[in-house]
Amino acid sequence: VLSTVVARLAGHGRPAHEVWLPPLDEAPAVGTVVEACGPQAELTLPIGVVDRPYDQRRDPLLVDLAGAQGGVVVVGGPQSGKSTALRTLVLAAALTHTPRQVQFYCIDLGGGSLAGLAALPHVGSVASRLDGDRVRRTVAEVAGLIRRRESVFRELGIESIAQYRAHPAGAADPHGDAFLVVDGWSVLRAEFESLETQITQIATQGLSYGVHLVVAAGRWGEIRPAIKDQLGTRIELRLGDPMDSEMGRRVAALVPLGRPGRGLTAEHLHMLIAVPRCDGHTGADGLPDAVAAAAADIAGRYDERAPEVRMLPAAVALEEIPVRRDRSPSDVVFGIGEAELAPAVLRFEAQPFLLVFGDAECGKTELLRTITASLVAGGTPDQTKIVLVDYRRTLLGVVPPDHLGGYATSAQALTPMAAQLAQLLRARCPGEDVTPQQLRARSWWAGPDVYLVVDDYDLVAGAAGNPLAPLLELLPQARDVGLRVILARRSGGLARGLYEPFLGRVRDLTADGLLMSGSRDEGSVLGGVKMSAMPAGRGTWVSRTRGNELVQVALAARRDG
């Protein structure tokens, strides 16, 4: 009888209200979530769904990146869906904004999953772990955007990024809101530790200038408080250890294992990140192809693209670098700096010493050729004299005779030359009758500045002594007496060689340095910087006054073939 009654009632009337919704198993496509949400405020992105069981409904998971919550951090254990969440965030922004409004610059250290986003017109670059130059240039490009906007804000009296967007200067800016996306924070700290300071500055200053930081990490403890405090939008997926949760340790243990994209909100509600696809399908099957298809479809809607990351050239000729006509004869252009891709200039008037360290065939001698060529081009023989110490004769004929003050190829030739040079410089030391005006103008002596250029310094300072020893007492007064010292030395045995008296004295006088390719086993060389393998002609310019910067040394003359 019961079966007959149920069969007769089936299909009649409205279905009964289900108390519990289905489990959060199938992640929706981000394209479907964006379409269901409709138009949203600028930089408000739908990236998933939030389960509200006691309200018997599911709401879209919205992140508002327009204000103080503009920084994003995604934290989760292995295979929890961190990289997928980043792709979903980028696709959600691309579906709701133009390439003029938002741009993404990605550093993919988490396994290569962000590579499929490179086809998006909103993505200016995707750098992998194996492309260290692009990783550094990506950070430098974003940091440079902050510096440029900071300068414009100060010049025009602009107080906020909203006011900047309404200003003609903001309308002419090719960048809108720029996002630096870092997938694999622990890898960045381990392999690119020098970038952490720059990224910290981006996190602390960026939001005021429309620059956002997006980070994915394996656990909360990987992120230093100086950065974490600036990341207001926090997405916590399933953690390897629920005890590390910042959303709630007890409820974090209830997030199921093996469900990528599942996590908790700050209200202790379960959420599910949408998958980065626009074809309406759910699940992660065929996700790389779906991301590529979505990127190609979005790219077809726009004619413009995000500004690309400019790369440091592998080779550049000295004559290709623009030089200010009003530069001082002591200002030496020697390459291109990575931070702004601007000329790298040594100002010997302010810093009279330069140390160059590197392995064989790394470009030390070519750097000396470039420096001497720039000195010859920038000063007359009455202003500049160059004394070459070249035991291997690799600089023979580089300096014209009228600029050449001396050329030594052995200790026998260098010993009397150094003694004569020391005598000349002692005569320039200020006497008792020098006035304060003369000290400021450095007018108590006349003559050219003397540039002592030493190649293969490890051959000069040997067990039998150092022929340059007569100049040792004059080094502290080098700026006043017109002495400039440029030493190039191989990096092998540098840990001991830095304590040689002449070289150690130059280093103690806060000399600038160029650390070219070398072994990290030599330890901290200058300013706490360790050497590393680099392409020929490239080095880290270490300076206590202007900071550290990667530089590509210019070639003194273009070489065909």
Q: What integer pLDDT is reported at residue 108 of this predicted model?
A: 96
DSSP string, 428-453: TS--TT--HHHHHHT-SS-S-EEEEE
Q: What integer pLDDT is reported at residue 17 of this predicted model?
A: 67
- Cβ(312)–Cβ(338) under 8 Å? yes
Apex 232 CA angle, 230 and 234, nearest 5? 120
Return the amino acid letter for 149: R
Q: What integer pLDDT is reported at residue 413 of this predicted model?
A: 94
φ/ψ (deg, to 5) at 491: -85, -15
- Give the separation between CA 141 and CA 203, rounded to whole angstroms: 14
How crowded is the C-beta side of 60, counted as CA atoms within 13 Å? Answer: 20
- Give the separation between CA 329 and CA 347, rounded to whole angstroms: 9
Q: What integer pLDDT is reported at residue 367 of this predicted model?
A: 95
Q: Which helix (H) or strand (E) holds 263?
A: strand 262-264
- Measured N-to-C along each axis, helices 287-299 and 82-96 cross at an angle, to the nearest 10 degrees, of 20
Residues whose CB falls within 8 Å of the CB of residue 390, separated by 6 or more in sequence, listed in order: 396, 407, 408, 409, 455, 456
pLDDT (tens digit, 0 to 9) for every residue of the chain, 561 residues total?
Answer: 999 988 888 878 777 766 677 778 889 999 999 999 989 999 999 999 999 988 888 899 999 999 889 999 999 999 999 999 999 999 999 999 999 999 999 999 988 889 999 999 999 999 999 898 899 999 999 999 999 999 999 999 999 998 998 899 988 999 999 999 999 999 999 999 889 999 999 999 999 999 999 999 999 999 999 999 999 999 999 999 999 999 988 999 999 998 999 999 999 999 999 999 888 888 777 888 889 899 999 999 999 999 999 998 888 999 899 887 778 888 999 999 988 889 999 999 999 999 999 999 899 999 999 999 999 998 999 999 999 999 999 999 999 999 999 999 999 999 999 999 999 999 998 888 888 888 777 788 889 999 999 999 999 988 778 999 999 999 999 998 999 999 999 998 888 888 899 999 999 998 999 999 998 888 888 888 888 888 899 999 999 888 888 999 999 874 443
Q: Which residue has the tokens 């580089």?
A: 398
- Give the separation between CA 246 and CA 242, rounded to whole angstroms: 9
The candidate with the shortest Cα–Cα distance to 454, out of 545, 554, 372, is 372
Two tokens at 263?
A: 């996590």
3-class secondary structure, 347: strand
Is 0.95 surpassed by the pTM of this model? no
- Cβ(217)–Cβ(111) under 8 Å? no
3-class secondary structure, 271: strand
- Give the separation between CA 100 and CA 122, rounded to whole angstroms: 8
Residues whose CB falls within 8 Å of the CB of residue 220, separated by 6 or more in sequence, listed in order: 75, 228, 244, 246
Which residues, listed in sequence order, are joined to residue 259 by a DSSP beta bridge? none
- Measured N-to-C along each axis, helices 132-156 and 195-205 cross at an angle, to the nearest 10 degrees, of 30
Within 248-363, where are the H helices? Answer: 249-252, 287-299
3-class secondary structure, 179: strand
Compute the Cα dihedral for 207, 211, 228, 264 and give only its sign: positive
Return the amino acid letter for 427: A
Q: How many residues are given for the chain?
A: 561
- Give the separation between CA 220 and CA 424, rounded to whole angstroms: 63
Two tokens at 491?
A: 């990096």
Cα dist from 429 to 354, 420, 425, 439, 446, whole Å: 22, 15, 7, 11, 12
Return the amino acid letter for 441: A
**256-272 core/surface letters (b: 16 or more CB in 10 A; e: else):** eeebbbbbbbeeebbbb
Cα dist from 73 to 82, 130, 178, 234, 241, whole Å: 10, 24, 16, 5, 18
Residues whose CB falls within 8 Å of the CB of residue 154, separated by 6 or more in sequence, listed in order: none
Q: Which residue has the tokens 């909103």?
A: 122
* Beta carbons within 10 angstroms of residue 348's beta carbon: 26
The candidate with the shortest Cα–Cα distance to 181, out of 115, 272, 273, is 115
The candidate with the shortest Cα–Cα distance to 284, out of 292, 275, 293, is 275
Compute, in degrees rounded to 10, the torsion defined by CA atoms 548, 552, 553, 556: -150
Q: What integer pLDDT is reported at residue 558 of this predicted model?
A: 46
